Amino acid sequence: MELLKLIKNSISSEWKKTFNDNVDILNRNAHDQDQKLDTTNSRIDNLVLHSGGDSPNEVVDARVNNKGETFDTLESRLLASEDKHDEDVTQLDMTQENQRLQFEQLNQAIGKLMGTYGATLDLYVSSVDGDDKNGDGTEEKPFKTIQMAVNVMPLISSSQITIWIDDGVYLEDVVLKSINALRIDIRTIQSLGVLDQSKNDMPVKVRSIGFFNCTGYFQIAGIQAVDQANAPIFEGYKYSFSCEQSGYLALNQVRCVENTKAISNHVASYVGGTSKCHIYNSHFDNQNQINVSRLMSETRVAGDVTGTGNNIGFEANSGTVRVSADSPLSAITKTKATGQGLIITKGTVLS
């Protein structure tokens, strides 16, 4: 029941207004108290759930978590909270362990990056026993592909890096890009001294190997080029070995005998930019072109390079080729100068 206001005019209008205003205030307060009482009664109604029988007597609100999820019993809510806590602790432990391992890996990577982890880095590859997923590049757990070994090499290193390749055929286009190293050797695991590249196949066969924007000394040794119909193309040339804007590439005991004479843009060795290349103790048969040196690059061909049936031997395409005049290697066109190319033998400019 609300309070009654004064409606008669027997008292002054000013006093009546004040009185009625106070009545309004009291009515509002009473209404607020009624709402609070209703809320309290509602909470009281929820205090006990299913009193008696097999159901537990418990506070209903205690079965609701902070996300508004309602559980069948208070015990189930507490167990869920404890289980979640245990899961969080376990996850935290795992995260900390992962961070520790990542930190160790980062330290190793930094060590490799700066070349401070050792004087040499030996990586092993085996097409038969290797595994790119589970291998680590050691002799006991080699990689399966040469490219995987390249991928784990540091980008900057003061170490000597050697990729030891087990006997086999690797139909890969191996790419080394933006690597700065003291020395990189990609070679057969066999002793080079027992191999004869002029008579026998090399134990390791690869489709192509290319160095791009690298610095340092690089050597490819005891390797034979195969599957040249599918070799990659760079600057219009389909190549077996390439060195573009890189350091010094030595081709030692390489063998190229797959007939490429019908592939008009094929070159066994491409050298470009400011790169330098030394070809020695190697053999080339039936090649469309053995070598091209482009745009300030330079190739030196030793006198022990052999081979027959080649179309073009060595081209200086605005680059420089130094070739021994008494080289036993034969080609329809042994030397060729294009652009501002320069070919030198014994200090004499031929063209």
DSSP letters spanning 66-94: TT--B-SSHHHHHHHHHHHHHHHHHHHHH
Percent of the chain with pLDDT over 70: 76
Q: Is 295 helix (H, G, I), strand (E, B) or coil?
A: coil
Phi, psi of 346 (to 5 degrees): 50, 35
Tens of pLDDT, residues 20-77: 676 677 667 666 666 666 655 555 555 444 444 445 555 666 677 777 777 777 777 7
- Total residues belonging to the chain: 351
Whether 220 contacts 254, CB under 8 Å: yes
pLDDT at 70: 78
Q: Is the pLDDT of residue 285 over 80?
A: yes
Q: Which is higher by pLDDT, 205 or 84? A: 205
Tally Cβ neighbours within 10 Å of residue 284: 30
Please tell me what DSSP assigns to residue 264.
Answer: T
Q: Is the pLDDT of residue 351 over 70?
A: no
Q: Which is higher by pLDDT, 3 or 250? A: 250
Measured at the CA of 252, the angle between CA 268 and CA 324, to 5 degrees, comes to: 75
Beta-carbon contacts of 219 under 8 Å, excluding residues fewer than 6 positions away, are: 183, 184, 185, 186, 187, 249, 250, 252
DSSP letters spanning 246-258: -SEEEEES-EE-S
Q: Which is higher by pLDDT, 225 or 14? A: 225
Least confident of 10-14, 59-63, 91-95: 10-14
Least confident of 262-266, 275-279, 283-287, 321-325: 321-325
Least confident of 86-100, 106-120, 184-198, 270-284: 106-120
Least confident of 60-69, 151-160, 222-231, 310-319: 60-69
Q: Cα–Cα distance between 298 and 271 in angstroms, integer?
A: 7
Is the sign of the CA dihedral 326, 329, 332, 333 positive or negative? negative
Beta-carbon contacts of 342 under 8 Å, excluding residues fewer than 6 positions away, are: 316, 319, 320, 321, 349
Q: Cα–Cα distance between 141 and 149 in angstroms, integer?
A: 12
The per-residue pLDDT of the chain, averaged, comes to 82
Whether 337 contacts 315, CB under 8 Å: yes
In the block, tokens 């190997």 appear at 209
Q: Which is higher by pLDDT, 170 or 113? A: 170
pLDDT at 2: 55
The pair of three-digit structure tokens given for residue 194, joined into one six-digit string: 């027992």
Q: pTM score, two decimals?
A: 0.66
